[in-house]
Structure 1
């Protein structure tokens, strides 16, 4: 199979790429990514990829502009080397929060990123837990949208967070559908927090809809950025009588004061996946646990390569 498939990793996701290659059973593709003295990115593919299905694993996390540009250049290099298919695997899709015009004279940057990937030569894109599902419609090439739900559910079950003694809480109205899916599987009730955002990164809890008294609460979100929303929600849930509060999110952006806020919060544990490398954050936060998406993404890669359905991965 090594002659038919090659998996390349960008600088943003080295550990995840290594795990994925191990699951798929192929060595990591050879590519050299370097920079000129002025910061320009240079990519050289170190193997023959003519007619080969190539997969590039690169989260567009911090620094998003560098990681995005690196991926675009790598796609162009593979296209000019006559690769068969070029699949952009973007575990964390940066700029996903800019999926619509929030006020006049503002961009829709998620659409711009979609156009850039397509123009560079990507033939397919795969991502995990988009911030806004409609971003799939920005692409004129096939897009596979995976969910980290099974990975987080296993963590909740190991912790015994199932049944009527548990309540799943959405930290805002926009995440209700996501939280409802978890509550259905865990056979527990659902609660929703009415959040008002006064400015980017600043939010306040106004109301809690649902009963959390005496229950262990799980806050569910797609990402944790500065952790302001998460910690405010956890505090509100405890004030309404919850016995303990946990949190689970696919993408641990954890920027700015996030780690300090989590350490000082009432949260007992926070689960995130490795779609974004956490580096030293786990050592700085005893409450943080990182779950691997390598098998999920690796299975999707195998099925895409062999032309098999990946619909069962959406369960």
Structure 2
């Protein structure tokens, strides 16, 4: 395979936690396979005369804390000069993120994950395409609706639709005297939609992150077990990561969701599964690759580059006809 030239739109590389960062794992895997990578951030993306450009810096990486990258001088280049552009900017999916997706539609090259699908596939709502795998849920901004849902189920979790890492997620039960205040806060007094899901007691055993590459599950998963004093299965919220094999139910879920991911150009995706149920489908910058490699010796980032190499080769072949 001919070496690829790639650009990765990400958060500033100086500030990442390289021991846990999946985008960094992608850079390591690309470099090991002989590919030339450049990095840039949201302010470095711009559009001129109908073409998307980036202020790019070629990067060299190494798996060494405190000395994990070297950047070359900035150069302005049209993204069409790249074989592939990876969109790995972390949430929130705000107006600036959405605008970047609009600009990336004019990259003139392959963008992964597909920017149109990134706009369409809200990480809380995309799972609605697979209702057979979802717990009882409600999406509403109406406080009375949310109170009625709580009364029906006794225990629920409410979450904003565009946050990440467990931010703004609340557990509620019927006897909680803070219910009114919490619902007012998460909805902005009825100004913003939220998702409410029936509380799943299986969260005490952990929230499983399954990485999907080109619609296929990586063979091992990361189980994020909440801290004793918390209910959130997010590593940034104090959850502990432990290895978890894929169950028969997990494989059933992946087999059903995988074809839609491929159709939508979502090559690198993280499914969140609690017990038997899908709770989120993460498409922006899903993580977990570093931990899964540590636990199982399987590098999801390596699998991604193998898929990208095949895809670029196919695109070159079709362009030649």
TM-score relative to the length of structure 1: 0.40
TM-score relative to the length of structure 2: 0.40
